[in-house]
Every structure is written in C-alpha cells, then in structure tokens.
C-alpha cells in the first residue's frame, strides 16, 4: 500500500512538501513543513504518514461544523465594539463564502486550515489552527 496515497503530486520545494488532496468537488492544496532548513523528501515520511491518518477522519461534516464555528467567532469578533447584534443570516453568509483552499501540516500535530471568503475578505485569507480532534486552537484573518 502506498503511504502517500491520499496526497497527490507531492514535491519538495524550498524545504516544504506541497501537493494536492482530493476533497469534495475540488482538490485542496496541502503543505507539509518540518521546519528544517535542509530537507530531503525522506525527511517528511513521518509527518506525511501522521497526516494521512488524520485526513482519513476529516469529513465534509467535520468541515461544515468547523466553518460554522469559525464564521460565528469571526462575525462576533467583528461586531464586538458595535451596537449591531449579528443574526443567524450573518453567520450563514460568511459560512457559505468560506472555501477551504489549503491544509498545512507541521510537527507535533499542528494543523492549519486556510480558507478564502472573497466577498467578506477579498484580499485576505482565514487561518484556523485546529487540534487533532478538530477543535479550534487559533483563528485569524491575514
């Protein structure tokens, strides 16, 4: 069995491995970074193997739940110092816009999901670091 099977077109570029993961109707970019300056493809075997185990648990349902939590956190944060009280439609609009574009894997089970929401954040990306159990650990827009 090929250990790298869920990930396609893996290649080492500038000390990180990049490739694709077939997810939903579109592929999602993947990046593996062992945070070392001098790397060879073989150095990524453990990280890719661990990521493969995690990705098998990652589902469309899990992604939907995360998008819902992310949109709520971002919308609530945006209106913290405002008189406006967000309503369900605000959360759903952002949630619908969010498109997963990349999954980044780092050592010690650090996993980051990168989203685009072109209408709400036209020139930015949403970064969400999650735990191995799909809990949000960090969230920011940059």
For the chain, what are the domain ranges? 7-141
pLDDT tier at 2, thresholds 50, 70, 90: very low
Q: Which of 76, 51, 48, 47 is nearest to 130 (CA)?
A: 51
Write out the two tokens for 11.
């290649």
pLDDT above 70 covers what percent of the chain? 96
Q: Quick one: pLDDT at residue 22?
A: 87
Q: Quick one: pLDDT at residue 4?
A: 43
Q: Quick one: pLDDT at residue 10?
A: 95
30-40 average pLDDT score? 95
| Residue 81 pLDDT exceeds 80 | yes
């Amino acid at each position: 069995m090929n250990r790298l099977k869920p990930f396609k077109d893996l290649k080492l570029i500038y000390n990180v491995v990049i490739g694709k993961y077939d997810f939903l109707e579109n592929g999602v970019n993947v990046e593996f970074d062992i945070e070392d300056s001098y790397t060879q493809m073989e150095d990524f075997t453990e990280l890719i193997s661990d990521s493969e185990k995690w990705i098998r648990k990652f589902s469309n349902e899990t992604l939907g739940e995360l998008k819902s939590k992310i949109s709520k956190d971002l919308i609530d944060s945006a209106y913290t110092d405002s008189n406006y009280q967000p309503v369900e439609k605000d959360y759903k609009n952002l949630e619908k816009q969010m498109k997963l574009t990349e999954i980044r894997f780092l050592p010690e089970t650090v996993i980051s999901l990168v989203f685009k929401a072109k209408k709400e954040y036209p020139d930015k990306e949403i970064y969400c670091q999650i735990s191995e159990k799909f809990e949000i650990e960090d969230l920011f827009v940059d």
